[in-house]
């Protein structure tokens, strides 16, 4: 099933529900099944507190052995290709590489590079972010119990947003209605298949889930790339306290974080009762456990005959 976990494309609605169930079980304290030693490495070629730390935690809770890998101090700095790095890790005995990389679909050439090593995509360029997608689904499912007919708004810096790509695709598959808003020039054609662009005030009133995206910092920086001031963005495209007051009573606010406070979201809304932002982070650990376990099962990593299990060293 999940020989690798790289994209929303490979996740069926049934898969999604199985993973959500398993993640909720872990959250409720289901013990991790015993298994032989499995070795994971986390290759983060882009910075991330949340995703990286969350995977580190999930790996330890699953009983994996984590082999440290720092891209900045690796042979990649000697010009080694990503494919040769993956072959090296496989030869050394690493079973699972969790990777984030700025290149779109960086994983495509790697899937063939090593048949013995699984790739779990922790974000590729402007492509996919399947673990964020799955934890978003889990958080929505916890709240509403189902996806069919749910109205989900995805708002903000849609341009090059891997979260928006993955979430919109999967929510649509699951029967939710997806709507977009934010600066209209960021509503690129690939989103049209998933749902319409709405004026922000209209969207906010309509949705059950308001998923607000982080605005890339370079859009505010002085210099050539600056497009907005922070205050301007907040006034025109941000979720202000006034706007949030028009949300449906049971509607929730989500955000992949880190939040630019008072830019895409009023600062006090981050900790407001309708916010699920820290719950998303909390759920992320359990969902990543479920995803990693799915890969381990598909590849039979850690599957040790009972007769040998006693001599296996963790």
Binding site for a copy of itself (CB under 8 A): 31-32, 37, 39, 41, 44, 47-50, 52-54, 56-57, 60-61, 63, 65, 67-70, 72-80, 84-85, 87-94, 217, 257-260, 278-279, 281-282, 284-285, 311-313
Burial class for 154, CB neighbours closer than 10 Å (0-12, 13-18, 19+)? buried
Distances, alpha carbon 9 to alpha carbons 182, 204, 269, in Å:
25, 28, 32
Nearer to a copy of itself by Cβ, of 165 and 214: the residue is 214
Nearer to a copy of itself by Cβ, of 151 and 274: the residue is 274
Task: Tell me 213's DSSP state.
Answer: P
Angle, in degrees to the nearest 10, between helices 277-299 and 130-144: 120
CB of 72 to a copy of itself, least distance (A): 8
Distances, alpha carbon 80 to alpha carbons 41, 44, 274, in Å:
17, 16, 47
Closest CA to 211 of 160, 145, 159, 137: 137
Q: Is 250 annotated as a binding residue?
A: no
CB of 71 to a copy of itself, least distance (A): 9
Q: Is 50 annotated as a binding residue?
A: yes
Q: Is 245 annotated as a binding residue?
A: no
CB of 87 to a copy of itself, least distance (A): 6
Q: Is 257 annotated as a binding residue?
A: yes
CB of 28 to a copy of itself, least distance (A): 13
CB of 229 to a copy of itself, least distance (A): 15
Q: Is 115 annotated as a binding residue?
A: no
Nearer to a copy of itself by Cβ, of 198 and 257: the residue is 257
Scan for tokens 């969350």, then name that residue. 54
Burial class for 213, CB neighbours closer than 10 Å (0-12, 13-18, 19+)? buried
Q: How many CB atoms lie within 10 A of CB 177?
A: 19
Q: Is 216 annotated as a binding residue?
A: no
Q: Is 129 annotated as a binding residue?
A: yes
In angstroms, what is the C-alpha Rg of the chain? 20
- The binding site comprises 50-51, 78, 100, 129, 132, 162, 214, 257-258
- The binding site for carbamoyl phosphate comprises 50-51, 100, 129, 132, 257-258
- The binding site for L-aspartate comprises 78, 162, 214
């Amino acid at each position: 099933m999940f020989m690798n976990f790289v994209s929303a494309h490979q996740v069926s609605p049934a898969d999604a529900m199985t993973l959500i169930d398993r993640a909720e079980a872990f959250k409720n304290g289901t013990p991790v099944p015993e298994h032989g030693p499995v070795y994971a490495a986390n290759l983060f070629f882009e910075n991330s507190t949340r995703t990286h730390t969350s995977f580190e935690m999930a790996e330890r809770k699953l009983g994996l052995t984590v082999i440290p890998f720092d891209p900045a101090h690796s042979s990649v700095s000697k010009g080694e290709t990503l494919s040769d790095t993956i072959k090296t890790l496989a030869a050394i005995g690493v079973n699972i590489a969790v990777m984030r990389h700025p290149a779109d679909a960086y994983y495509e050439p790697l899937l063939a590079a090593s048949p013995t090593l699984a790739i779990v995509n922790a974000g590729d360029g402007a492509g996919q972010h399947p673990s964020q997608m799955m934890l978003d689904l889990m958080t929505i499912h916890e709240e509403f119990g189902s996806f069919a007919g749910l109205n989900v708004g995805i708002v903000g810096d849609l341009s090059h947003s891997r979260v928006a790509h993955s979430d919109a695709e999967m929510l649509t598959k699951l029967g939710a209605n997806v709507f977009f808003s934010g600066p209209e020039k960021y509503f690129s054609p690939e989103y049209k298949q998933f749902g319409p662009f709405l004026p922000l005030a209209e969207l906010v009133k309509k949705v059950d889930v308001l998923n607000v995206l982080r605005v890339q910092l370079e859009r505010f920086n002085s210099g050539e790339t600056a497009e907005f001031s922070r205050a301007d963005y907040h006034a025109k495209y941000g979720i202000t306290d006034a706007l949030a007051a028009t949300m449906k009573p049971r509607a929730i606010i989500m955000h992949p974080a880190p939040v630019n406070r008072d830019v895409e979201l009023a600062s006090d809304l981050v900790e407001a009762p309708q916010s699920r932002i820290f719950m998303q982070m909390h759920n992320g650990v359990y969902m990543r456990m479920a995803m990693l376990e799915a890969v381990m099962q598909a590849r039979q990593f850690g599957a040790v005959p009972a007769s040998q299990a006693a001599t296996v060293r963790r």
